Structure 1
Amino acid sequence: MAFALAASLSAVAGGMSEARAGATVCELDEGELAVSDLPSGSSVIQCDAVGRVVTYDSTGVTVPEPGTAVSVDAMSTDGTSHGFTMEVAADGTVSYDLTSASVDLDGTGSDKADVLVNPARTAGDLSLEPDDADADASDAGTGAEVAEVDAAASPGACSDGTYATKDQKEYGIYNWYIGDGGLPAGLSKSDALWSFYEALDNITESNNNCGYSDQVGAHTANFLDYTSYEADVNSRDQCTSRDGLSTWDAGNLASGTVAITCSWTWPTPGVKNDLREADVRFNTTDYDFTNKPTASCSNKYDVRSVGTHEAGHIFGLKDIHGAHENLTMYDTSIQCSTRARTLAKGDVLGLRSIY
């Protein structure tokens, strides 16, 4: 059995003291673990589980140090989203959020300084790939760009108030980097910078055509630098160990996944968890992207629409399923559409519930 807890009480030969009554031993099988192998209530300390991979819903996370939570949110092409959250309390106790939607209106709290020391690249880091690895083809479309206001013209964009939030909040400024390797739509690093910047601003400024004012306030995003580090996620949609940098890049993800966000937070009892790091990766191995959808666009995902959706995850929004295609946080991206660049009513209300 993969997970076994057994009371250990034995005498040690040679007059040595007996093992402490009630001490526990946790034995885990080799390889990747399922949530059932390391269930809620178990201890990553007793099980020596830090650094192991736990999988659920076609995604996975690397078990973090005590006092840390990690979330994975994967956008797929089939109209579904995948992911979950694993939280490890300061004493090593495990808990999960495996639900697809939950509303949490508690948005109070204060920021904490990040004191991560000597961040290390993960074993699966892709930093040694050449810069053109998995590079997306450059935009070839001609003609006028599809109007960004197509979101406002879509029925229901300003009447659908559906939203769901994560136990996650950026209490200060989200500082981010652009990583090494290829970028979506064959963008140069400078062009990618402005595309990603706009995607994040769409969230932090509550960009909408419904007349809602921005209430995210001082919770903004700030680009720091280009880096040789890459997003802490592998080709199996698994969040690897945190390296201390919030990195946006492109590369290989599981087939069927358009983009993914991995977030690490500090559990904060009584309020939303405090964001420490959030990485975003676009899947340029299996899909093409464009930064300028035109009438001739075909089978390409809009960089800024996908980016805005992923930025929503960073700032605490969950995916929404069902007949809510007008929402930015709808669980899949519509090819050749700029709709998700502009927030709908539910997206704005979701941000207001947090900030």
Structure 2
Amino acid sequence: MSDAQTATAGTPDAAVCDLPDEGELSTGDLPAGSSVIGCGAVGRVVTYDGTGVTVPEPGTAVSISALAPDGSTHGFTLEVAADGKVSYDLGGADADSSTAGSDVPDVLSNAAATAADLSHESDSTDADAPDTTATGETEVADADSSAAADACSDGAYSTDDRKEYGTYEWWIGDGGMPGSLSREDAREAFWDAIDNITGSSNNCGYSDQVPAKHHYRAPTSFEADINSRTQCTDRDTLSTWDAGDLGSGVVAATCSWTWPMPGVKNDLREADVRFNTADYDFTNKPTSRCSNKYDIRSVGTHEAGHVFGLGHVGSGHQNLTMYTNSFTCTTKARTLGKGDVMGLRSIY
């Protein structure tokens, strides 16, 4: 991480810390350069800009990215080196507007295994409005394809310090699904969304040169390790997609856990995705009569981009999948733009 990014999180090389006995911590409470071992911080929650992460064991990084309806960016990365030293990337969720693309510098530290935390949260019952289509309504997918020209001329992208070196294996979680879909229908929608990333799905004429892979495993009684305050909880080793409650102003969120790798992108170990069905409605088939519903596959494609290492792009790049808002009643984020494809190629 850059010195500027680290400095915003606290004083580098801080030797001591004085944590409050209870409650959440700020990045100032646990400054960059301090030790989670010396501070007794493992398992505590650190918050920043409306999101939070649970401090992991040494040799692990955890990141959260939140999709907001107003186009604002929320999220950050906390990395714990093998010796317990803390570093932050508070700019990882910020948009990069360069048409040449931008790659976040890799962090050089030693990889280390983390112990599996097999706990899971209570079942989620949140569900949005049922996904129904009235007779005579037409889907908007074909109309949205006409927006591809703008997306195909925009080469902006940003990437995070994360890569899936093998196959991303994922599960369908417990509780309700977006659009009140059945688990099977949700599995199909999520599969298509992840495929859009691993297959570089686009209307720009770019071939798929990205060897990223994914594999659906099974339903699980576990849930995504993301709580109702948009905070990454302790990881349970399963990459789970589900729906439930998130913080106000968050449509969906992704939490990713990685192992730091010397000289290359951090190695993805788990990535969970949650749709906020407590505050927003979703549909699998936006129609001409759609009103204030998010397209499940568009949001899913955006979140899958985070899973495989893509970051947000912001103002001026509204036609790209990784723009900070997927918008309602449109399917255009299902299809990658030039910058989305170039970003994936830069990682893989």
Q: TM-score, normalised by structure 2?
A: 0.89
Max Rg structure: 1
| Cα distance in 1 for residues equivalent to 2:188 and 2:114 | 28
Q: 2:81 aligns with which of 89, 95, 116?
A: 89
Map Cα deviations across residues 198-234 of structure 1 (whole Å, 9 max, x no partner): 00000000000000011112x2110001000000011
Aligned partner of 2:19 in structure 1 is 28
Q: CA deviation at 1:105?
A: 7.7
1:275 is aligned, of 255, 268, 280, to 268
CA deviations over 1:54-108 (Å, ceiling 9, x no partner): 000110000000000000000011111200000000000000111125632889x
Q: 1: CA distance between counterparts of 2:273 and 2:213?
A: 17
- Matching residue within 44, 47, 50 for 2:36: 44
What secondary structure is seen at the aligned counterpart in 2 of 1:350?
A: helix
The percentage of counterpart residues that share the same residue type is: 64
May I ask how many residue pairs the two structures share in their alignment? 324
Alignment correspondent of 1:12: none
* CA distance, structure 1, for counterparts of residue 32 and residue 16 of structure 2: 16
SS, match of residue 186 in structure 2: helix
Give the conservation status (yes or no) of the 8 Å contact 1:104–1:165: yes
How many Å apart are 1:27 and its aligned residue? 2.8
Q: Distance in 1 between matches of 2:263 and 2:347?
A: 14
Do the aligned residues in 1 keep the contact of 2:147 with 2:319 (CA within 8 Å)?
no
Q: 1:260, 1:282 within 8 Å by CA — same for their partners in 2?
A: yes
**Structure 1 residue 249: Cα displacement:** 0.1
SS at match of 1:46: helix
- Decide whether the 8 Å contact of 1:69 with 1:267 is kept in 2: yes
**C-alpha distance after superposition, 1:144-185 (max 9, x if no partner):** 211256245355211000000000000110000000000000
The residue aligned with 2:58 is: 66
Match of 1:200 among 187, 194, 198: 194
Q: Deviations over 1:117-155 (max 9, x none)?
A: 553215xx133x4xxx11122113321211256245355
1:104 & 1:152 partners in 2: Cα distance? 29
Q: How does 1:127-146 map to 2 (within 5 A)?
A: 127=123, 129=124, 133-142=125-134, 143-146=137-140
Tell me the distance in 1 between the aligned counterparts of 2:128 and 2:172. Answer: 16
In structure 1, the residue matched to 2:3 is none
| Structure-2 separation of matches of 1:180 and 1:139 | 19
Q: 2:162, 2:267 within 8 Å by CA — same for their partners in 1?
A: yes
- Aligned residue for 1:214? 208
Residues 264 and 152 of structure 1, relative CA distance in 2, 3 Å threshold:
farther
| Structure number with higher helix proportion | 2
Match of 2:280 in 1: 287
Q: 1:165 aligns with which of 156, 159, 175?
A: 159
Is this contact kept in 1: 2:33–2:85, CA < 8 A? yes
SS in 1 for 2:66: strand
Q: Secondary structure at the match of 2:28?
A: helix
Q: Give 4+ residue runs of structure 1 displaced > 4 Å after superposition.
A: 114-118
Please give the root-mean-square deviation of Cα atoms over the aligned residues, in Å. 2.2
Structure 2, unaligned runs of 5 or more: 1-9, 97-101
Change (3 A) 1:31 1:119: closer
Q: Write out per-residue CA displacement over residues 278-309 of structure 1, whole angstroms, 9 at most, x where no aligned residue.
A: 00000000010000000000010000000000
Instruction: Measure, in 1, the Cα distance between the counterparts of 2:296 and 2:221.
Output: 22
